[in-house]
Every structure is written in C-alpha cells, then in structure tokens.
A = this chain, B = another copy of it.
Amino acid sequence: MDAIRRLFHPRSIAVLGASSDASKLAGRPVAYLRRHGFAGQIYPINPRYKELAGLPCYPDVSSLPEPPDVALILLASDRVADATRQLAQAGASAAIVLAGGFGETGAEGRRRQQALKDAAGAMRLLGPNTIGLVNVTDRIMLSASGAMELEEFPAGQIAVVSQSGGILGSLLSRGAARGIGFSKLVATGNEADIEVSDCLEYLLDDDATAVIALYLEALRAPQRFRAVATRAAAIGKPIVAFKVGRSEVGVRSAVSHTGALAGVDAIYDALFRQVGVTRAATFADLLDIPAAFAQKRPMRGRRVAIVTSTGGAATLVADSIGAAGFEVPAPDADTARTLLALNIPDAVLDRNPIDVTLAGLRLELLRTVIDTLLASASFDAVIVIVGSSGIGQPDLVSRPLIEALRNSDKPLLAYVSPDAPSIVRHLNRQGAPAFSAPESCASALAALSRAETRCVSSVAADHVQATVDWQTGLPDRGRLNEAQSKQLFARFGIPSVDEVIVQSSVEAARAAARIGGNVVLKILSRDILHKTEVGGVIVDVVPGDVARRCDELDATVRSRTGHSPDGFLVQELIRDGVELILGCRRDPQLGPAVLLGAGGITTELFKDAAIRLLPLGAGDADDMINELRSAPLLRGFRGRPLCDVGALAQAILTFSAMVSTLGERLIEAEINPLFVLPQGRGVRAADGLVVLRSTDGA
C-alpha cells in the first residue's frame, strides 16, 4: 500500500501543535477526528499538555510510541521545516502542512518551500498552504478548516480534488446544502510534493469514488496528468474539471494565489478534449455535472422527455436543452396510447414537454407517466419538472421519481422550479440528480452524452518520433528560408508545391515553362520575414511575363528593404485547393502543441483553429479537422470538390512527428498555406517557416 493511499486511510495520525481548546483552529483537528469516530490512533503533539481531550499528548515527534501514518502540522510556517524533518526521520508516511507563507508569496517563500521539500526527503507531503483532506467515506477528517463544521457530512460518490482550499470548502458547503455526497475531498495547495495527479491516481482505484471533480489553477505535471486522465477514461471514471485562467486577469490572480504558472487556456482545452476530461463551463457545473455522472446511467442518444405539471418551467428547460442540441420529440404512437389510456384530465400527452397538469399532484399517476416514458423506445432520458405545489413535502413529491429509478437505467433528472432546497436535497440524496438552473440540466445531459460517444484514443506510437535524416544540407540554427523549410517538411513526408529555386529572371522563365501554366513568383530570403508586405510575392503570372515580373520583384524588394534576395522561387499555382495553416506552439508549462487553422485571414478574424498537445492520439488529427468551422469547405460545401481529408490527417500526424523528433531544437515551425487538394491528390505546402536552436542551445 503506497504512501498516498495511506494518507487517505491512516491507521495513526499525529497532530503537531494541537490545542486543547476545540474552539480554536488548532483545537479542531483532534475534535473533528473524534467527533466523526476515527478508529485509529490519534497522537496530539504539544509540549504544553500532558493530555488533550482525554488523549495522551506528546511533547515532540521523537517521543511518539510509533511512527504515525500521517502527521497534520498546525505549526507556523517558520517551524514547519524542522517538524517535517523530524517526522521524516521518525518514519512517518506522509505529512500535511497547513501553513501558508511559502511558494505563493514570492522568491523568499519559494526558497522556504524548497527547504520544506528537502526536509521531507522521501516522506510524502501534502501542501503547504492547504486545508488538508477528508476521507468522507471512512469519516476521517485531516483538516483544521472551519468549512468542515457541518451538521451533516454528506457521504457519496464524488471525489473533489482542488488546488484551492477555499474552493474546496465552498464546494463542500454547496454540495452539502444540495444533498450531493462526497467520497474524498483534498486540497493540494502549493503542491510542493503531492499534486493533483497523485490524488487522481489514488482515486481511480478508490471504489467509493464514481466521479472526480477537479478545481485547477495550473497543472504542474501535465504529462503525468495526461497519463492519469487517459487511464480514467479507459476505466470509465469521469473527471470533470473547472479551470481558472480563461482571462489574463484570472491567470494573474491564480499565479498570486498558489504561485503556479498557468498555460494558455486554449491548450488546456485541447488537453481536456484529448484525454476525455469534461470541462465545466461554469462553477455550478463543477457540482452539477458530477452529480449527473454519479447516477451512473448511460445517455445513449439525444432524445429527452420532459414531464411537467407547470408549463413555463418545462418550456424553459426544453429551450435550454434544445439550445444544447438535444431533441424533445413527441412520444411515439405506442407511448402516446399508453399515456392517453391513463385518462388524465386536461393533460397534454401527445407532445413534449408532456404536461400532466394537476395530475402531477397525484403521485401514483405521475409515477406511471415517468415509468412509461423511461420504458419508451422514443426517449434516452427523462427530466421531471418539480413545481411549487409540493414545496412543503419534499419526501412526498420526490417519491415518484425515486421509485421510478428502479425500473430503468436511463438518466432521470429533476428540475426544481421554485426555491426549494429541501426538495433538491432530498432528490439528490436519493439518487435523482436535481437542478435549480435550466442551463445545468443542459450541461449535465451534454456531459453524459459526450461521455458515451467520446473515445479517448491512446497515443499513436508510430507517429511520436520519426527516424529521418532531416539535417543534412540545412543550416543548423536560426531561421530557414522558405525553400529550406519546405525541404525539411518534405523529408518528413509533407510534399510541397512544384517549385524551382532560381537565381535569375532567365532561369525563372525556364523554370516556369517546365512547371507549366501560370505560376507564383517569390523572393527567397532568410532576412526578410514578411515577403508579402515588402512586395516579394506575385501570384498568377502568365508564363510569357515571368522574366519581366521577376526583374520587377527584385527591384521592388531591393528598394523597399535594402536587402538583395537570396534568389527566387518559381512555384506552380494551386487553384483548386483549400488553404489551411499547420503550425506548432510550445507552451512553457504544457509543452508542444500542434495547431491547424483555416487559411488566410480567417484564422485570425474568426479564431477558426484547432489545437492539440503532442503526442497526438490516433483520433486527434480527424478531430482537429472536424473541429474547424470551415471544415465543410473540405467536404464538398456548396458544390465544391471533396478534398483529400485523409492526406490532411496524415500531414497533421507527420508534422507532429517532426515536432517531436526535432524536440528542443525546434523553436518555431509553420506551413502557411498548406493546400488540401481534391480527393486522391494529397496536400501541398506552399510556404513555410522554421526556426531552429543549435545543438548548444544558441
């Protein structure tokens, strides 16, 4: 049994700096442990007491009768490192450091945090700057936080891993109020040692946990996260993540909060997609979506029945889930017949939402309607609208839903229209996810539905690296010119447009004649970054004009830049391809990523781009293509030819392999434009840019 598992399941707990006053912060941990019936050994440590809350109290770590499994350190930040060292020496398995004043406070704090880490040695460390952890399943509270002062501690199947203690407390409080039950709660704080992925890894094996809610400010070990999350997807344990840092403001705030550097938000989005993590769009979703997952009912299609006795709220929910792409079809003839046979007065049973009017108060009848809809082949899920009439009797109005749960494995959700916390609580506790926002119904269903259809592919190993002699004849550092860049791409297997490098206008005319048809003329230069902007590109030159236009090009560029071109490129003119951009981005935290964008100005104006972290999984290239809003252009949009999408997918994988192979040597690489030709004719790199770092890092 490893140290992390031991941390969640300690047999013995030392509390360093425990106070005998349970009303004080330092008095809480022992009080919490005893109140919730911790069955193992509790070792309060405080030289001021002989005894504490009826337990023997020890003056220091060395006087403990055995090495504790876990030590909860309540000491001030300047005393923490010493205590940690003593615990490590004594053979404790893990320590939890609550104090702040470490990495989150700047350079001095970072030094103090490193010293703390050094002091811990092989002993695992949670924190510093954490509120600790709670094993709700086994009622073990390792925390001094006032947020744990709950009348009822709701046990359930949702684990929460949070990089913020305050947010963990907020989620616990909100969950408890709504009857949402938790299995394990852990705040990782500054993550000097144990970080989110350590906790995720343990939770994947924790049978009491069905779903994991994750509050993230920044991943410190993204590759590890990727591996763990991929495993979560493989074993079907959903992870729902809320990640701050969607705005510059949020990024800065997160940095000052836990001292972690955040990556670019779009790359986090990509990462979550690649590993099948559901990203919560709102903070409320971070509880609502896990609550729906915890029901463990598969959403096999997109057809939803809405049952109501109040028109307005049903319309609201129908509109919200409709906007999220769900269907709300009328019952099929068989189902309608069964419903009509119930003879419900005034009820509207042949459309959807299905309005049972006042019969919604006759609970047996409502139960039959719900059963019928769950059994119907027309529906993949049922939402029951709870109105205001039963507000004083949560147990009673919840009963038809809860009983109906038994007879079907389809998702059965409730929307509670009035403010009725007791109904929400009752329903959630009994296993029927209950929502107070119509938008939550939509996001919960959307998450369930995606989880059914998504297949997280493992990394396509053969594309990770390529054994290619890519270097011969190319500069070993700095910016490659266009021809060299495309030569590099071609060595990995991405073909370029037909082109000839020439040094004079006479050669240019000869090359154009060989290529045939109208051509593109470009200057070749390592010095000039933006060819087009200095007049260094002429498109669509008729063969007879090539020599003259080439001389023009030379003169224009010289006069505008003062540089002589290194030569000229004569290229075939592509008329029937779709223009894209294929490039890479390197995030300092998350690593290299590949980007596919709509060509020309579209990427910039409409932000039409798809991004994925390397290495790519097998399905990622196709996913990227489909993610583009301009993807229809590749697929015969409005009479256009079908494009060679297969070759494009291959080019994405090839480009990614190139990026991986070049590794740290590659500073920048982009093919722009990459033409995708009609079906069967492949792709062509028409321009490109590569910047290399030399082997000595220059």
Contacts and interface: CB of A to CB of B under 8 A. Distances in A.
A673 to B, nearest CB: 15
Contact of A253 (B328, B421, B606): B328
B437 A283 contact: yes
A547 interface: no
A478 interface: no
A389 B169 CA distance: 11
Contacts of A377: none
Interface stretch (A50-58, A196-204, A319-327): A319-327
Nearest to A178: B419
A473 interface: no
Nearest to A101: B346
A533 to B, nearest CB: 6
Interface stretch (A133-141, A290-298, A305-313, A642-650): A305-313
A542 to B, nearest CB: 10
A284 B147 contact: no
A164 B418 CA distance: 14
B282 A439 contact: yes
B167 A316 contact: yes
A206 to B, nearest CB: 24
A411 interface: no
Nearest to A162: B312
A176 interface: yes
Given A249-B318, A638-B601, A313 B608 contact: no
Secondary structure of the A contact surface, majority rule? helix
A132 interface: no
A147 B388 contact: yes
A351 B105 CA distance: 12
A322 B249 contact: yes
Nearest to A357: B100
A338 to B, nearest CB: 20
Contacts of A639: 533
A217 interface: yes
Q: Which of A248, A318, A602, A637 has most chain B Cβ within 10 Å?
A: A318
B250 A319 contact: yes
A430 interface: no
Contacts of A174: 418-419
Interface stretch (A227-235, A627-635, A659-667): A627-635
Contact of A170 (B246, B257, B417): B417
Contacts of A313: 164, 166-167, 170
Nearest to A419: B177
A637 B416 CA distance: 50
Task: Give how many copies assemble into the complex.
Answer: 2
Contacts of A178: 419
B605 A253 contact: no
A319 B606 contact: no
B169 A249 contact: no
A164 B419 contact: no
A439 B244 CA distance: 12
B417 A319 contact: no
A41 interface: no
Nearest to A387: B166
Contacts of A601: 633, 637-638
Interface in A598-623: 601-602, 605-606, 608
Interface string A195-229: 00000000000000000000101000000000000
B315 A164 contact: yes
Given A146-B389, A253-B353, A311 B166 contact: yes
A503 to B, nearest CB: 29
B315 A257 contact: yes
Contacts of A68: none
A241 interface: no
A162 B166 CA distance: 38
A348 interface: yes
A640 to B, nearest CB: 9
Given A256-B348, A346-B101, A418-B174, A217 B388 contact: no
A173 interface: yes
Contacts of A630: 605-606
Contacts of A320: 250, 283
A282 B442 CA distance: 12
A178 B245 CA distance: 29
A576 to B, nearest CB: 15
A174 B419 CA distance: 5
Contacts of A322: 246-250, 253
Contacts of A389: 146
Nearest to A248: B322
A601 B391 CA distance: 53
Contacts of A244: 315-316, 319
A165 interface: yes
Nearest to A390: B146
Contacts of A444: none
Q: Which of A173, A244, A391 has most chain B Cβ within 10 Å?
A: A244
A250 B311 CA distance: 12
B417 A166 contact: yes
A323 B176 contact: no
Interface in A146-170: 146-147, 162, 164-170
Q: Which of A284, A316, A633 has most chain B Cβ within 10 Å?
A: A316
B164 A312 contact: yes
A580 interface: no
Contacts of A419: 173-174, 176-178
15 contacts: A146-B388, A167-B417, A169-B388, A170-B312, A173-B419, A176-B419, A244-B316, A246-B319, A247-B318, A249-B328, A253-B353, A256-B353, A283-B316, A605-B637, A606-B629
- 5 shortest interchain CB distances as A-B pairs: A250-B319, A249-B322, A164-B312, A247-B322, A166-B312
Given A167-B417, A602-B602, 6 more contacts: A166-B387, A173-B419, A247-B323, A283-B439, A284-B437, A284-B439
